[in-house]
């Protein structure tokens, strides 16, 4: 285990670059504040340096809320978002979910979709970003890594990406939702329905949505 001093990059920290990405983002982005020693604790658990965008986001932020909170990039957590990179990946005594062997969860969205880096469980194990799509319950290879995933989230036309799974008035509803929760839909998104209006939805913890979607994926 490297000590914190070895993980804090002094010459080429990535945080100025990440801040520039946020400032130039095409989608609305909110930088969540972290609290106390959470940034340091998460960085120590991850054992990555602040020279990397992941280390910078983990150390400097509680996470990033993109597009009114529709998509959440994990950081070190805080008052607004309890979930952090360490707890989501079983790296603390109080994990949110059971450790996901061979993959690292780095972001999630309000539909119950999850973004993870492949460590061998999802593909070739080279760290590429994958998306667990709630409408297919399959991991989709996005074709790029973590840094590009962050830039993709900040600049991609998310309205086009999520297509018909958005509804009139979603902005206000999602903005009022805790970033630690998402929607469970009935009928589920992987089944047919006339429209999103015909699906009921209720807010549930994101950890519950991950377990539910992984279980359903095995069954199907």
Helix H, strand E, coil C: the string for 83-107 is: CCCCHHHCCCCCCCCCCCCCEEEEE
- Assigned domain for 214 exists: yes
Range of the domain at 213: 4-158+178-219
pLDDT beyond 90 at 219: no
> Is the pLDDT score of 194 beyond 90?
no
Residue of 100, 191, 179 whose CA lies nearest to 137: 191
Report yes or no on 118 lying in a domain: yes
| CATH assignment of the domain containing 189 | 3.40.1580
Tokens 């950890």: give the residue: 207
Rounded Cα distance between 129 and 144, Å, is: 6
Mean pLDDT value across the chain: 95
pLDDT in tens, 110-142: 999 999 999 999 999 999 999 999 999 999 999
pLDDT in tens, 139-186: 999 999 999 999 999 999 999 999 889 999 999 999 999 999 999 999
Contact 88/74 with Cβ under 8 angstroms?
Answer: yes
Q: How many domains does the chain have?
A: 1
Residue 220 in this model has a pLDDT that exceeds 80: no
Instruction: Report if residue 165 sits inside a domain.
Output: no
């Amino acid at each position: 285990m490297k000590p914190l001093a070895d993980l804090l990059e002094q010459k080429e920290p990535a945080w100025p670059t990440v801040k520039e990405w946020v400032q130039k983002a095409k989608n609305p982005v909110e930088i969540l504040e972290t609290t106390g020693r959470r940034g340091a604790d998460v960085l120590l658990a991850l054992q990555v340096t602040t020279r990397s965008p992941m280390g910078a986001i983990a150390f400097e932020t509680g996470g990033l809320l993109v597009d009114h909170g529709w998509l959440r990039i994990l950081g070190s957590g805080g008052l607004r978002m309890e979930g952090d990179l360490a707890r989501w990946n079983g790296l603390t005594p109080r994990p949110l979910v059971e450790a996901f062997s061979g993959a690292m969860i780095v972001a999630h969205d309000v539909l119950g979709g999850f973004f993870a880096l492949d460590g061998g469980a999802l593909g070739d194990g080279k760290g590429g970003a994958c998306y667990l799509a709630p409408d297919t319950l399959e991991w989709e290879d996005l074709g790029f890594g973590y840094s590009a995933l962050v830039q993709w989230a900040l600049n991609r036309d998310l309205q086009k990406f999520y297509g018909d799974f958005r509804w009139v008035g979603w902005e206000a509803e999602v903005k009022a939702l805790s970033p630690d929760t998402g929607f469970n839909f009935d009928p589920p998104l992987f089944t047919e329905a006339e429209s999103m209006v015909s699906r009921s939805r209720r807010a549930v913890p994101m950890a519950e949505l991950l377990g539910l979607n992984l279980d359903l994926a095995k069954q199907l």
